């Protein structure tokens, strides 16, 4: 069995009892970054073999993991924070495991965009999740394809690109488009800024830019 196990996105109290139990029971844990996961595993008294599984070795490692699963090993996949395979490594492994007729189980748990969307006050009956925009090639094409999108749009962004991304949102969606940007979700300095894109831009030009960002942008009316 391959278990996909969500981990907290900031607050260790968000770890579920089931996630702890699964991580204690499996034979092997695959972690996006073993250094990041080590304090989490230690905190919950989890002492298992941990191997790195990230975007740079994912393609090479998949067949070896499939072999271990076929030998009867129980394996859990965790990412640095949140649910694996959502803007994180994991999709390839899940797909190949299913192709081989092996069992996959994804535990419910933390995912950054859900609290950001609910907290935004923007319509959430229908939405589209875009994750991280391409860094260079295809970035403008992706944004332009969303110009007429009527559903609330959700993006992930890093602190060093957030101002550039807000500028691009203004160019494509207009300065008066309603939006909500959350950072440091579940952490001590959690912040959500709501308003027009122009208002949000002014806020982040004069306030600290730290942590990972979730941007929710209202759809075209």
pLDDT in tens, 83-142: 999 988 899 999 999 999 999 999 999 999 999 999 999 999 999 999 999 998 999 999
pLDDT value of position 73: 97
pLDDT value of position 89: 86
132 and 52 belong to one structural domain: no
pLDDT value of position 56: 80
Final residue of a structural domain among 78, 106, 134: 106
Final residue of a structural domain among 85, 106, 127: 106
Does pTM top 0.85 for this prediction?
yes
11 and 100 belong to one structural domain: yes
Residue 47: other Cβ atoms inside 10 A: 9
**In a 3-state reduction of DSSP, which class is residue 157?**
strand
18 and 52 belong to one structural domain: yes
90 and 120 belong to one structural domain: no
77 and 145 belong to one structural domain: no
Q: Which domain holds residue 147?
A: 113-217
98 and 146 belong to one structural domain: no
pLDDT value of position 91: 93
Using an 8 Å Cβ cutoff, are 144 and 220 in contact?
A: no
Final residue of a structural domain among 57, 82, 106: 106
Which backbone phi and psi does 95 adopt, to 5 degrees? -60, -45
160 and 128 belong to one structural domain: yes
Using an 8 Å Cβ cutoff, are 104 and 97 in contact?
A: yes
Task: Report the distance separating Cα 65 and Cα 52, nearest Å.
Answer: 12
**What average pLDDT does this structure show over 141-160?**
97
The CATH number assigned to the domain holding 165 equals 3.30.950.10
Total domain count, the chain: 2
204 and 138 belong to one structural domain: yes
């Amino acid at each position: 069995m391959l278990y996909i196990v969500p981990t907290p996105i900031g607050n260790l109290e968000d770890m579920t009892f089931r996630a702890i139990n699964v991580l204690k029971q499996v034979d092997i844990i695959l972690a996006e970054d073993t250094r990041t996961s080590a304090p989490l595993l230690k905190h919950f008294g989890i002492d298992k073999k941990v191997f790195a599984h990230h975007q740079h070795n994912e393609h090479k490692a998949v067949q070896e993991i499939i072999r271990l699963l076929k030998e009867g090993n129980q394996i859990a996949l965790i990412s640095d924070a949140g649910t694996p395979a959502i803007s994180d490594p994991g999709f390839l492994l899940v797909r190949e495991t299913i192709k081989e007729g092996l069992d996959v189980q994804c535990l419910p748990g933390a995912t950054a965009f859900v609290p950001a969307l609910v907290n935004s006050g923007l319509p959430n009956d229908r939405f589209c999740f875009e994750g991280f925009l391409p860094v260079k090639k295809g970035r403008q094409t992706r944004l332009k394809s969303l110009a007429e999108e009527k559903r609330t749009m959700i993006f992930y962004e890093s602190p060093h690109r957030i101002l550039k991304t807000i500028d691009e949102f203004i160019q494509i969606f207009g300065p008066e488009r309603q939006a909500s940007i959350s950072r440091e979700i579940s952490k001590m300095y959690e912040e959500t800024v709501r308003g027009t894109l122009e208002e949000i831009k002014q806020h982040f030009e004069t306030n600290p830019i730290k942590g990972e960002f979730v941007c929710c942008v209202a759809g075209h009316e």
